[in-house]
Every structure is written in structure tokens, then in C-alpha cells.
């Protein structure tokens, strides 16, 4: 999915006319004599843009204007520094870096690099005509203005951070459509010229931000997802088929939604996370427990649509065909339904059926959002549902839970008894996930592309250390995972615990004296028992 999650620099604008000394210093360094007035006597305002912090959020484009929505900020959004729409704003953003596939740890490392290098300290100087729409200039301290617009970057400031330098150049190319030259100013060897970066013509972007909808093919999606999520082949095939249909149809009456049922750790959410990475479909993942009825403390379900719009980068058409995944829907069901829980289910039911909502996208702007084409996926463990299973005239099976099939455990009758509204259930396809035991856990460790054993093997291979284990190790991990009762997520914690001591040595400065790390079933029980040689 092409979600534009970015790290951006938050700037604050101050009136430069009160900073005469600083203005003179900037003009002298840049060699640019900024005029107080233009040919038609229009007064120019001058401002200093000072970086405040690096913020994580989403960048979108709406009606030709770039907007940035910081995470956990409600409906607030910021204009970009070089957009004339921001000329009266105190705060704006600049130099976003896309971090779609970054983990939180990766983001922290990138923020550290940005603070240590030039990018975070990029103070800007800006001027624009008062009360004239669209006439605004933003440039760095090293800006020079002749007949053509150019940027001069002090390459020495980057030290050896070439990737950051290239990212800076790419941002200038994209963000300033009138730039014709970018010069990297450094101390070149005697006799050599300062390096110039050629910039091809950049076409102005139109107001229509809609992109052609991606083609989704059931077989391709199935083949991709099953490489990562093991022991749920039929479930993945059903989901891939329905998603391909939902994207292909024009009549929303043919659309299907999902209710994924199964114990914790069987891959319900993991399937949709992998679908998001394998396609360009916008998707948001929410927790049903966060939602409350309108007027109560908590999130209203309509906030989902605002989030999906930003994830779709302001492409309303794509957002209206995106996926809304809501976990722990079982927490809004049950025989003790109160007013707020019932109201949440009723609100979601209206959204599933298809309704046009007016949602705010910040800065007092609103859009109309039609949910009739959205795919809704709900998931839950439905703990205790086995007590509601009916076989003949007998309720429940005592201690013989192994006799209950998935079809008997999760169906319209049992979900209704559990507390979900029949109208809600009737608009979704019930998909029962396979339960996982030691045999399945072993298969996951052997076959999944994201098996934690394989990931650790790849990590050690980068240090030229061979990671050696056999089937007995896999079986020991699988048996221990089954005892935890937390599903496949137990595999990671078990393996991490088993390698905790050996990692100290393989991740220390003297790692290059080791060539092999060998673990045995004894390592799974006692992480001090391994062979490193």
C-alpha cells in the first residue's frame, strides 16, 4: 500500500522585519539584495522560518495543496512552507521524508540523524507580497536569485551522510517546481569546478489528485500472502477472492465484508497487514474498544474515515474503496450490551450499509465521504463462544471441545447468541480461522518468509556468522508456544529469550572472531546453553 507516512520538520514563522540584524546577515551571506517593494509598489513581508521539532504523520495533497497531519493530532493539519496558502500561518512543515516501511526504532534512528546533520537545522528565509494570493518565495540561507532560480547547498555540512544529501536534493526538486539548478558547494580539489546537479523540467501538478485504481488479482494476492501467513490457506484464498471482487465491481450491492473469528495469534490481523504491504489499497486498522457512542468520551466511528482519507494521500476515490479493519469487535458484543456498546455497533452497521458522511480534514475544510464501496473487516477471538454451540438438543460439549468444528463454533447462530446484531452479521462473510497447535507452529517456523528463525539467520549472515539449528529445535519451540496459549505471537518471544545471551556476543565489537552459532533444544529452556565458535 502506498501510504505516505512521513517525518517532517515543523517550522515556526516569525516576522523578520523586527530582526534587522539577522536579515542583513542573511542577505550578505546569500548575496541577494531583497527589495522592500516591487515594481508596482507592493509591500513585501519578510519572515524567518525556524525549525522546532521533527514530527511523525501523514502527507497528502488536496486540491493542489500539500498538507501534513501529525499523528494523534485530531483533525489539525499544516500547510507546506512553500505553499502560498500558508502565508498567514504561524506553524507549517517542510522537507518530509517518507517512512512507510520504517519501524519505530528505524524512525528514532532517522530522527537522530536528522538532528545531527544539516536537514533539521535548515533555517529558511521567506518573503511574499501582502494580500496577494500565490506570490511567495522560500529559500535557504544559501539561496541565490539571478534570472533563474537555483539552490546552493553546502555539501561539507553533510560530512559523509551521502544518503541524507541525496534525500535533500530530491526534496528540493519535488517541492520547488521552478528550480533550474542545484549547486553542491564544497571545497573542490584545486583545478576542479563546483559540482552541479542537473534538474529536468518539473511539470506543475494539477488539482486532481486521483490516481488510477490498482488492479487486484485473487491468485496473485493469495500467492503473495500465503508465503508469510502459514496454515490459513483457504481463509487467505477466500479473502483474496472477495477483495479482488470488491475492487472490480461497480454495483456496491455485490460487495462483501468480513468477520474473522478465531483465537488470538492465529493471523487475523497479520493477513490484512500483509495485504496492505502487497497492494496499493489504502487501509486503516482500528481497535473496536476505542470507540464510543457520540457524545461520550472516546473516539467516534466517523474518525475512521478521516484517517483513511489521509492514508490515501487525499485521494478521495481511493479512500472510498479502501479497507477498514476493526479488531476486537467481540468486545462490543455480549449478553450485557449497554447503550454505548450497542450504539457503536449501530453506527458501524450504517457505515457498512453505505452512507455519505461529511468529515473534517482540518483547517475548517470538509469533504463528503461515501462508504458504500469500502471493504469492512472485523475480527475477534469471541472467547467462550464454545459454550453457545448447539449439537442436537445438547448445549456445549463439556470437555470435548476438540469435537467442535469451525462451522459449529462460528456461524450466524452462535455469533447472534454472543451478542452481535443479526443485521450486522448478515452483511459480512464469516471466516473461521484455523486454530494453531505445535504441528502448525513448527510449519510456520519452517515455511514462513518472516519466520523468526529465518530472520535471525539473515541477521547473523550479515556478520558472516552461520546460524545452525535442526528440527529438534523447531519442535521444542513449537511445543513451548502451544503451552503459552497466545498463538503464533509466542514464537517471537520464545526465540528472543533463547538467543538473549548469545546475542550479546554476536552483537559486540569482537563478533568477527565467531563463525558459527549453534543452538539445541536445551537452548530453548536455558539460554546460556549454546555453542559459539
Give a three-class secondary structure readout of 121-153.
HCCEEEEEECCCCCCEEEEECCCEECCCEEEEE
Q: What was the pLDDT predicted at 365?
A: 76
Among 240, 216, 369, 378, residue whose Cα is nearest residue 307? 369
How far is 174 from 169, CA to CA, in rounded Å?
Answer: 9
**Radius of gyration for the chain, computed over Cα atoms and rounded to the nearest angstrom:** 28
Most confident of 97-101, 149-153, 220-224: 220-224
Mind listing the pLDDT tens digit for each residue in 106-145? 888 788 777 765 566 666 777 776 666 666 666 554 333 3
CA 422 – CA 409 distance, rounded (Å): 16
Identify which has the larger pLDDT, 186 or 355. 355
Residues 441-454, mean pLDDT to the nearest whole number:
94
Buried-exposed string 511-520: b where 16+ CB fall within 10 A, e elsewhere: eeebeebbbb
Per-residue confidence band for 513, with pLDDT thresholds at 50, 70 and 90 = very high
> Which pLDDT score is estimated for 457?
93
pLDDT per residue over 375-398, tens digit each?
999 999 998 898 888 655 444 544
Evaluate if residue 341 carries a pLDDT over 60: yes
CB-CB neighbours of 163 under 10 Å: 10
User: What is the per-residue pLDDT for 184?
Assistant: 57
86 has a pLDDT exceeding 60: yes
Least trusted range by pLDDT, from 269-283, 327-341, 350-364, 425-439: 327-341
Q: Are 339 and 293 in contact (CB under 8 A)?
A: yes
- Beta strands 394-395 and 124-129 are unpaired
In this model, does residue 88 exceed pLDDT 60? yes
Gap between the Cα atoms of 169 and 163, Å rounded:
10
Q: Can you give the pLDDT at residue 72? A: 73
Compare 521 and 105 and report the one with higher pLDDT.
521
102 touches 12 (CB < 8 A): no
How many whole angstroms separate alpha carbon 533 and alpha carbon 515? 6
Which of 140-154, 178-192, 290-304, 479-493 ranks highest by mean pLDDT? 479-493
**Is the predicted pLDDT of residue 75 greater than 80, yes or no?**
no
Q: Which residue has the cell 484455523?
A: 434
pLDDT of residue 115: 73
Query: Per CATH, which fold does 438-532 belong to?
Result: Helicase, Ruva Protein; domain 3 (1.10.8)
Return the higher-pLDDT residue of 531 and 399: 531
pLDDT score of 167 = 64
Amino acid 399: pLDDT = 47
- CATH 3.40.30.10 assigned to domain 218-432? The reply is no
Give the pLDDT band (50/70/90) at residue 96.
Answer: confident
- Tell me, rounded to whole angstroms, the distance of Cα 235 from its chain centroid: 24
Is residue 48 pLDDT above 70, yes or no? yes
Q: Where do the domains of the chain lie?
A: 5-142, 218-432, 438-532
Would you say the pTM of this structure is higher than 0.75?
A: no
pLDDT of 40 higher than 70: no
More confident residue, 337 or 303: 303
Position 336 pLDDT exceeds 70:
no
Amino acid at each position: 500500500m502506498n501510504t505516505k507516512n512521513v517525518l517532517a520538520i515543523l517550522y515556526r514563522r516569525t516576522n523578520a522585519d523586527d530582526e534587522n540584524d539577522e536579515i542583513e546577515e542573511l542577505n550578505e551571506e546569500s548575496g541577494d539584495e531583497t527589495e522592500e517593494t516591487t515594481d508596482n509598489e507592493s509591500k513585501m513581508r519578510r519572515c524567518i522560518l525556524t525549525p522546532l521539532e521533527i514530527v511523525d504523520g501523514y502527507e497528502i495533497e488536496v486540491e493542489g495543496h500539500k498538507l501534513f497531519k501529525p499523528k494523534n493530532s485530531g483533525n489539525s493539519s499544516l500547510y507546506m512552507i512553500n505553499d502560498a496558502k500558508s502565508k498567514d500561518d504561524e506553524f507549517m512543515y517542510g522537507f518530509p521524508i517518507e517512512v512507510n516501511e520504517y519501524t519505530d526504532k528505524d524512525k528514532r534512528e532517522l530522527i537522530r540523524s536528522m538532528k545531527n546533520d544539516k536537514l533539521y537545522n535548515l533555517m529558511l528565509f521567506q518573503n511574499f507580497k501582502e494580500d496577494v494570493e500565490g506570490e511567495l518565495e522560500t529559500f535557504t540561507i544559501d539561496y541565490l536569485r539571478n534570472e533563474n532560480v537555483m539552490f546552493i547547498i553546502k555539501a561539507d555540512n553533510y560530512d559523509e551522510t551521502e544518503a541524507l544529501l541525496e534525500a535533500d536534493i530530491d526534496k528540493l526538486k519535488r517541492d520547488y517546481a521552478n528550480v533550474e539548478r542545484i549547486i553542491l558547494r564544497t571545497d573542490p580539489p584545486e583545478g576542479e569546478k563546483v559540482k552541479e546537479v542537473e534538474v529536468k523540467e518539473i511539470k506543475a501538478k494539477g488539482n486532481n489528485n486521483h490516481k488510477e485504481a490498482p488492479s487486484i488479482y485473487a491468485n496473485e494476492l493469495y500467492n503473495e500472502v500465503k508465503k508469510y501467513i502459514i496454515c490459513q490457506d483457504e481463509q487467505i484464498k477466500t479473502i483474496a477472492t472477495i477483495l479482488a471482487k470488491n475492487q472490480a465491481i461497480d454495483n456496491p450491492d455485490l460487495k462483501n465484508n468480513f468477520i474473522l473469528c478465531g483465537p488470538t495469534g492465529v493471523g487475523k490481523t497479520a493477513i490484512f497487514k500483509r495485504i496492505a504491504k502487497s497492494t496499493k489499497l489504502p487501509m486503516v486498522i482500528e481497535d473496536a474498544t476505542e470507540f464510543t457512542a457520540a457524545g461520550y468520551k472516546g473516539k467516534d466511528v466517523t474518525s475512521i474515515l478521516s484517517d483513511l482519507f489521509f492514508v490515501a494521500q487525499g485521494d478521495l476515490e481511493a479512500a472510498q474503496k479502501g479497507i477498514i479493519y476493526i479488531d476486537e469487535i467481540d468486545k462490543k458484543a455480549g449478553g450485557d450490551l449497554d447503550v454505548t456498546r450497542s450504539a457503536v455497533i449501530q453506527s458501524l452497521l450504517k457505515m457498512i450499509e453505505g452512507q455519505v458522511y461529511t468529515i473534517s480534514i482540518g483547517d475548517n475544510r470538509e469533504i463528503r465521504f461515501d462508504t458504500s464501496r469500502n471493504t469492512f473487516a472485523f475480527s475477534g477471538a469471541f472467547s467462550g463462544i464454545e459454550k453457545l454451540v448447539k449439537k442436537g438438543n445438547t448445549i456445549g460439549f463439556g470437555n470435548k471441545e476438540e469435537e467442535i468444528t469451525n462451522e459449529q463454533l462460528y456461524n450466524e447462530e452462535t455469533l447472534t447468541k454472543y451478542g452481535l446484531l443479526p443485521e450486522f452479521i448478515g452483511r459480512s462473510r464469516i471466516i473461521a480461522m484455523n486454530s494453531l497447535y505445535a504441528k502448525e507452529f513448527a510449519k510456520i517456523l519452517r515455511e514462513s518468509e518472516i519466520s523468526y528463525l529465518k530472520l535471525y539467520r539473515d541477521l547473523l549472515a550479515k556478520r558472516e556468522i552461520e546460524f545452525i539449528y535442526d528440527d529438534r529445535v523447531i519442535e521444542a519451540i513449537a511445543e513451548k508456544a502451544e503451552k503459552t496459549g497466545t498463538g503464533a505471537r509466542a514464537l517471537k518471544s520464545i526465540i528472543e529469550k533463547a538467543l538473549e545471551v548469545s546475542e550479546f556476543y554476536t552483537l559486540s565489537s569482537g563478533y568477527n572472531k565467531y563463525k558459527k552459532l549453534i543452538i539445541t533444544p536445551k537452548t530453548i529452556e536455558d539460554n546460556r546453553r549454546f555453542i559459539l565458535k
